Amino acid sequence: MPYNINQIAKKVAWRIMPLAILGYFLAYVDRINVGFAALTMRNDLGMTATAFGFATGLFFWGYALLEVPSNIALSKWGARIWLSRIMISWGIVSALTAFVSGITDYAILRVLLGIAEAGFFPGILLYFTYWFPKQFMARAYGFFTLALVFSPMLGAPISTAIMGLDGWLGLKGWQLMFILESLPTILVGIIIALALPEKPENVTWLTQQEKNILQEELAQDTQQTINKTKWYHAIIDSRVWVICSVYLCYTIGSIGMVIFLPQIIQSLGKQTIMTTGWLSSIPYIAGAISLVIFGWSSDRYSERHWHVSLGLATTTFGFALATFTMGSYWAILGLSIAAIGMYGKMGAFWALCGGILKKNKAAVGFAFINSVGNLGGFIGPFLIGWARDLTGSFSGSIAVLVFFSLVGTIISIFAIKNTETQI
């Protein structure tokens, strides 16, 4: 029977995408569950909002420093072993967070968690280049990043439900949450070690003809990207630094909101921890819908730049609305609008990155963009916590996010150039 590349790509997606999405889902749950833990953990450990935001953000220093080395290691030793190592490592560190006794313990484990998790996201992006021809990459990135919104959307009620088990086995709710949510991570890490296919030539679920067609397409992509530049050109090109600055502004807002969202929701009125969890999921539902719509539109019209800029502008407006309505439940609407912009642009953003990175620069390029950009994950929580302690309200905190989202919007509109010419 005749084969075409579309059928083969769909077959590949059904085989490798579920495990990749599940892994990133768990990665983000283990990264943000501290926001729900903080509802009671801060008081138990005597942390101010500033101290909590600072220590929580230390995750991203460990994460950023090892992003590039991790992707280089993956390209050398293979995705199956390296991604498995990452997941098992961060699962263990996350579980140990249940036993911290103060701010110092907590800060150390946040750094170690960042080190353990470093390289997973860009590693998956690199792994996709082994399986998907260029014309399918935007859709692959889009489906993969759905985990980014599904993890807080589903993780919010799950985390708060676990915290409701306070006192079980003599442990506090937040301690149980760290332990129980780390176990699936370790399990999936083991499954990846056993089951993740490395490259097309190694699998039995593709026929030899399918393998030949897929490898020809991938080889053609590789041939088109061959040039005389070195790997470090991926981190010295001005376009990469522009993209890094846009991503930095994005992560300041997104991680800042994610980490403090449960506390922001709780500050709006008296409600149970479980209710806080359900209300916290609303912005992410909006974000999930927008991710699909933006991704479809970006592929439909083969346009990346203005989809990214529109997303950032929408985020800025949403944060501004939340700032002026903080103290009422209208703030949730503002944060939902912000989430529409934040998550809607993600597929277009990574497709834009892929547009300027030749295949032989992808390992370093993806990791470098993610590394620099995710430093915003330190800045955002710290500034929100500092502004909260300074003003006694989250209005000032969200106003900080308005500023950085606006800066990201301006840079995106005026500084991102077309990506037809690759590095």
Give the residue-averaged pLDDT of 215-228: 63
Q: Which residue has the tokens 């070195």?
A: 230
Answer whether residue 230 shows pLDDT above 70: no
Tell me the two tokens of residue 246: 């846009």
Decide: 274 and 160 in contact? Cβ < 8 Å. yes
Tell me the C-alpha to C-alpha distance, in Å, between residue 124 and each of 32, 119, 273, 296: 20, 8, 34, 21
Give the model's pLDDT for residue 417.
64
Is 214 inside a domain boundary?
A: yes
Give the model's pLDDT for residue 178.
93
Give the model's pLDDT for residue 190.
96
More reliable by pLDDT, 373 or 330: 330
Tell me the two tokens of residue 300: 């439909």
What is the tally of structural domains in the chain?
A: 1
Give the model's pLDDT for residue 402.
95
Give the model's pLDDT for residue 238.
77
CA–CA gap between residue 239 and residue 294 (Å, rounded): 23
User: Containing domain of residue 27, as a range?
Assistant: 16-199+207-221+232-415
Residue 279: pLDDT band (50, 70, 90) is: confident
Quick: pLDDT tens for 99-123: 998 899 999 999 999 999 888 888 8
Quick: pLDDT tens for 120-138: 888 888 888 888 887 776 6
Q: Which residue has the tokens 């946040």?
A: 110
Answer whether residue 40 shows pLDDT above 60: yes
DSSP per residue, 82-131: HHHHHHHHHHHHHHHGGG--SHHHHHHHHHHHHHHHTTHHHHHHHHHHTT
Q: Closest Cα partner for 298 from 240, 355, 369, 339?
A: 355
Q: Which residue has the tokens 């359900």?
A: 278
Phi, psi of 267 (to 5 degrees): -75, -15
Is 420 inside a domain boundary?
A: no
Answer whether residue 354 shows pLDDT above 80: no
CA–CA gap between residue 204 and residue 27 (Å, rounded): 29
Answer whether residue 226 shows pLDDT above 60: no
Is 164 inside a domain boundary?
A: yes
Answer whether residue 376 shows pLDDT above 80: yes
Is 9 inside a domain boundary?
A: no
Is 299 inside a domain boundary?
A: yes
Decide: 347 and 141 in contact? Cβ < 8 Å. yes
Cα 308–Cα 30–Cα 120 angle in degrees, nearest 5? 60
Q: Closest Cα partner for 202 from 299, 102, 123, 130?
A: 130
Give the model's pLDDT for residue 2.
53
Residue 1: pLDDT band (50, 70, 90) is: very low
Decide: 374 and 63 in contact? Cβ < 8 Å. yes
CATH code where residue 178 lies: 1.20.1250.20
- CB neighbourhood size of 317 (10 A): 19
* 175-179, 322-326, 394-398: the lowest-pLDDT one: 394-398
Tell me the two tokens of residue 66: 């090892």
Answer whether residue 396 shows pLDDT above 60: yes
Residue 233: pLDDT band (50, 70, 90) is: low
Is 4 inside a domain boundary?
A: no
Residue 206: pLDDT band (50, 70, 90) is: confident
Decide: 348 and 368 in contact? Cβ < 8 Å. no
- CB neighbourhood size of 269 (10 A): 12
Answer whether residue 223 shows pLDDT above 60: no
Answer whether residue 337 shows pLDDT above 90: yes
Q: How many CA atoms lie within 13 A of 364 on its CB side?
A: 13
Quick: pLDDT tens for 137-176: 667 777 787 777 777 777 778 888 888 888 898 899 999 9
Is 422 inside a domain boundary?
A: no
- Encode 134-144: b = buried (16+ Cβ within 10 Å), e = exposed: bebbbbbbbbb
Answer whether residue 256 shows pLDDT above 70: yes
Is 251 inside a domain boundary?
A: yes
Decide: 18 and 228 in contact? Cβ < 8 Å. no
Q: In the predicted model, what is the mean pLDDT of the chain?
A: 84
Most confident of 143-152, 209-218, 244-253, 262-271: 244-253
More reliable by pLDDT, 181 or 139: 181
Percent of the chain whose predicted confidence (pLDDT) is above 70: 91
